[in-house]
Structure 1
Amino acid sequence: MLYPPHQPLQAAAIPPQRGPAGPAREDESGPWHTEAVCRRDEAGLFFAPSKEPTAARLSREEAAKRVCARCPVVIECREHALLQPEPYGVWGGLTAAERRVVLARRRRREMELKKAASAPRIAAAG
């Protein structure tokens, strides 16, 4: 299981293992989430408390996105959240609702490409 970068360092001290999305990225610096800026921030910034008022949620999500904006592994984090898919929290600068939109667009694009690939080709007149 990949450990979310939002966990405090002591909670994520167990080495990452193979997760549902595949093996953790290992390179000279270790798995991607070890470089995540959010590891130094409070996890509550990235995940909603129960019955959070809308204004508070929007403010918290914007603060979390500002953290993501300065993160060197924001793309890896976003792809992790899209591949899992992570149903809650801000991951890779996107909220759960924003990730659902991205996934829907990807599915629609894939369907359009498959449909275009399987459509009969009409020879150009000339």
Structure 2
Amino acid sequence: MRDWKWQEEAACSGENLVLFFGSDNERQPEKGIRERKAKEICAQCPVRSACLLYAISEPVKYGLWGGMNEDERQAERRRRMRHNIPMAQAPAMAEFKRCRACRRSKPVGEFSRNAKHDDGLSLRCRPCIEKASTPTWARSSTESVA
């Protein structure tokens, strides 16, 4: 018996399913835009690795699961077979990202969504963005000016 509890915590719950599964007669440009939007949601999802593990181990053939589309999941399955990695082993997920401003590795939750970038996240963490947008005169005297 499978444990489906992870689905209750998914960032996509309540979203329109068409965003993750597309529609009939969808053209390639629309598919790319749709998948980027869906991957933005997946990038912030707390159960992304469980979702992807399910989709790889079943295998699920359609839709975007755990931030990967059908072709990406198929490539991941082939990679696992080539390297003798069990399908039930959790995939390595990027849980941290390096901020370009402060150069620290921080949890991906500290980055804003930004569709312009491949991973769907901004280049700078939220504290660095806030610091840059605060006028110098408004900063406290103990805070260093970058």
TM interval, short-chain normalised: 0.5 to 0.7
Q: Partner residue of 1:110?
A: 84
1:78 to 52, 65, 83: 52
Show structure 1 runs of 4+ deviating over 4 A: none
Pair 1:65-2:39 in alignment: yes
CA displacement at 1:40 relative to structure 2: 2.1
In structure 1, give the amino acid aligned to 2:49. I
**2:75 corresponds to:** 101
Q: Which has the higher strand share?
A: 2
Q: CA deviation at 1:108?
A: 0.5
Aligned-residue offset at 1:97: 0.5
- TM-score, with length taken from structure 2: 0.56
1:106 corresponds to which letter in structure 2? R
Kindly, what percent of the aligned residue pairs are identical?
Answer: 35
Tell me, in whole angstroms, the C-alpha distance in 2 between the residues paired with 1:34 and 1:80: 14
TM-score (norm 1): 0.65
- Whole-angstrom CA distance in 2 between matches of 1:44 and 1:94: 15
- Return the alpha-carbon distance in structure 2 between the equivalents of residues 39 and 32 of structure 1: 11
Structure number with the higher helix fraction is 1
Is 2:28 the counterpart of 1:45?
A: no
Match of residue 24 from structure 1: 3
CA displacement, residues 55-91 of structure 1 (integer Å, 9 cap, x when unaligned) = 0000000100001001000000000000111100000
What is the alpha-carbon distance in structure 1 between the residues aligned to residue 81 and residue 22 of structure 2?
27
| RMSD of aligned Cα (Å) | 1.3
